[in-house]
Amino acid sequence: MDLLLHSFGNVFHPSVMLVIAMGVAVGITIGALPGLTATMGVALLVPLTFGRPPLESLAMLLGLYCGAMYGGSIAAILVRTPGTPAAAATVLEGYPMAQRGEAGRALAMALFASFTGGLTGALIMTFLSPMISHVALEFSTVEYFALAVFGLSVIVSISGKSIVKGLMTGIFGLLISTIGADPISGYPRFIFGQMDLFEGPPFIPTLIGLFAVSEVIANVQVTQSLQRVRAVVDRYFPSWADIKASLVPIGRGSVLGALIGAIPGAGGDIAAFVSYGETKRTSKHPEKFGTGQVEGLAASECANNACSGGAMIPLLSLGVPGDAVTAVLLGAFVIQGLQPGPLLYKDHIDIVYNVFASMIVANFALLAIGLVGIRLFAKVILVRRAILMPSILVLSVVGAYAMRRDVFDVYFMLGCGVVGYFMQKHEFPLSPILLALILGPMAEANLRRSLVVSGGDFGIILTRPIAVALLVLAVASLAASFYNHRKIARRLAEQAARGEPPPG
Amino acid sequence: MNRANFVSGAIGVAVGGGALAGASEFPPDVVMNVGPAFFPSMLAGMLVLASAILMVGAALEPAAAAEARAPLRWSFADGRVRAAVTVAAVAGFTLVLGPLGFIPTSVLFLAGMMAMLGMRRPLPLLAVSVGVTAAIWLIFEKLLVLSLPAGILDSLLY
């Protein structure tokens, strides 16, 4: 507790408060703009942290993460287009409310629920992460290998409509992660004489390419402007009646969101839909859902914000990112010379508690900035694509170039952008690539080190019960997703045979 | 047959096959039996397998109603042309970034891209191009002290 209080002292420094506020404001703006995701925002801002102190850098990115999760709701409510995937469930109740002329009421509840969910997630993270990291300190290379495999299996199984495509993308990402020097012998693999690849594929250019450039390539093909409802932002805070009606959904959604976020690979979109579904299931009037129910909106919004705190739990305690945004954040930690995981607690406990304090403060900043700027952010969605897209490209080029001052990195980023565009177009999920780039080297290096210890005997894996349990869970998660996928496909086929339209 | 999935699977098989061939040339580890080739070979094999499953599934899938695909029009009105020009423009930007310098390259790139995306009035076009470039240059050069190529403006800037 002393450490946490001391960290609040560090975070309340004017320069840190300023970067948190900047991060939140930029995050809300990025989140509010359809087509720009929290992952893209963090990826674009990571280059701005080069050479900055760790606390300022991480605090700004955490502020952006919190801001973007809320910002997505603005476009969802006003233009029926979720600003981020995590706000997809918000459309269901938010847009009908705006159509009824209750945009102000919906935006106010979205902000209140986002703040409450985000704060709950941050508090759960603060108290749960140290416990998990304490257990993880006992991990050997075998457990880390199994943990990486488990993380990958979950990521693959829950990403995208097709399991085979999810698997292909995950394996492709793992294959890319083997580019560069072999972790044990140092032998250069797949570098084709290009020494720029000796240290592996450049991480920041890869993620800017996959998550920013690919989106721009898709966005420049669209010309039609957004259809916006007439929004009267006449309210800044939800009424007491709305708060009372939403208290239980917010409480349940916040805890659910944080727990779902803590599962590697499960993002805010899943958390929001699960929370929304639970609220609808337990409601006395489920038939009214979809017509603009404030408790449905609150349930989805609090869950996606709580998810951000939850996703930080495996990142900080195990070094395994909870979602695509935390995968990018892991890159930001590495740039600062910090390796998330149990050793971070051992060697840099001050940084860990600074992260906890920053995340809690960022949620209060979200509430304050959201209240002050709600009218302005409601207008942000009207920024012209013609200005936005080229500006993102310039920022992408500079961001990819800045770290090593090497044009090779810019070409690599462009290549990743083109590959990412075609993959998205053909419904291959992108997040597994990013996570595989992080978990791949972790899996390989730890397996190889284990084999060095055992003299090449794979039986060493079976001697560690936690590792066996994690590998069994990995197989079970893949098997369960195959089963669920087939079940959904069968149900859709039956619906089609009956002539019913597919859901969504 | 689902053509897009079949082609995606074929690309996966080609990439996996290429990686398998490349990994076969890595030196073996005679002590541990698990050398630099182990992980890439295993992954390449898995990629080939998963891609082949996608190809088979795509081949067995009943043909969807042929989607009317508009013929490519070689004008900026066609989204595909705009996407291709965007990629080429970024490649061009990167190519001339060193010799020309960040500021002129960025202004030209932004003005060209904005014009292509429908912003035609010259004054706002120029003002936004210069403004965005100046903001990015100031943030990276002055705030973060990360130098960007000065190019032809070298003597003017430093």
Whether A74 contacts A82, CB under 8 Å: no
A187 → chain B, closest CA residue: B36
Q: What pLDDT is attached to residue A175?
A: 94
Name the residue facing A187 among B26, B51, B54 (closest C-beta): B26
A221 to each of A41, A278, A389, A502, B76, how far by Cα in Å?
21, 38, 11, 27, 10
CB A407 within 8 A of CB A398: no
| Residue A232 CB-half CA count within 13 A | 5
End-to-end CA distance of chain A: 47
Q: 3-state class of A188 per DSSP?
A: strand
Residue closest to A41 by CA, chosen among A50, A32, A31, A49? A31
- Sequence-distant (6+) residues with CB within 8 A of B43 are A171, A174, A175, A178, B19
Residue A181 has what DSSP assignment?
E
CB of A171 within 8 Å of a chain B CB? The answer is yes
Q: Are A320 and A151 in contact (CB under 8 A)?
A: yes
A469 in B contact zone (CB under 8 Å): no
Q: Is A443:A145 a contact under the CB 8 Å cutoff?
A: yes
Q: Cα(A131)–Cα(A423) distance, rounded to whole angstroms?
A: 39
The Cα-based distances of B53 to A36, A169, A173, A423, B48 in angstroms read 33, 14, 18, 17, 9
Q: Do B87 and A418 touch (CB under 8 A)?
A: yes
B118 and A223 within 8 Å at the Cβ level: the answer is yes
Cα(B21)–Cα(B25) distance, integer angstroms: 7
Distance from the first to the final alpha carbon of chain B = 61
Taking residue B56's Cβ as centre, other Cβ atoms within 10 Å add up to 13
The token pair at A34 is: 């359809």
Whether A187 and chain B come into contact, CB under 8 Å, resolves to yes
Contact B145 A51 (CB under 8 A): yes
- Domain residue spans in chain B? 3-60, 79-157
Q: Are A139 and A342 in contact (CB under 8 A)?
A: yes
Q: How confident is the prediction along chain A (504 residues), in pLDDT tens digits per residue?
A: 778 888 888 889 999 999 999 999 999 988 887 767 788 888 888 888 877 888 999 999 999 999 998 988 888 888 777 777 778 788 888 888 888 888 888 999 999 999 999 999 999 988 888 888 777 777 888 988 888 888 777 666 656 677 888 889 989 999 999 999 998 888 899 988 888 899 889 888 888 898 889 988 988 887 665 555 555 666 778 889 999 989 999 999 999 999 888 877 667 778 888 898 888 888 888 888 888 899 999 999 999 899 988 888 888 888 888 778 888 888 888 888 888 888 888 888 888 899 999 999 999 999 999 988 887 777 777 778 888 889 989 988 988 888 788 899 999 999 999 999 999 888 888 878 877 888 888 889 888 888 888 888 888 888 888 889 989 988 887 787 777 767 767 776 776 776 655 444
Mutate to test the interface with A, among B43, B51, B54, B130 (most CBs of A within 10 A): B43
Give me the residues paired with residue A436 across strands: none
Between chain A and chain B, the number of residue pairs with CB atoms below 8 A apart is 169
What is Dmax (Cα atoms) for chain B?
A: 70
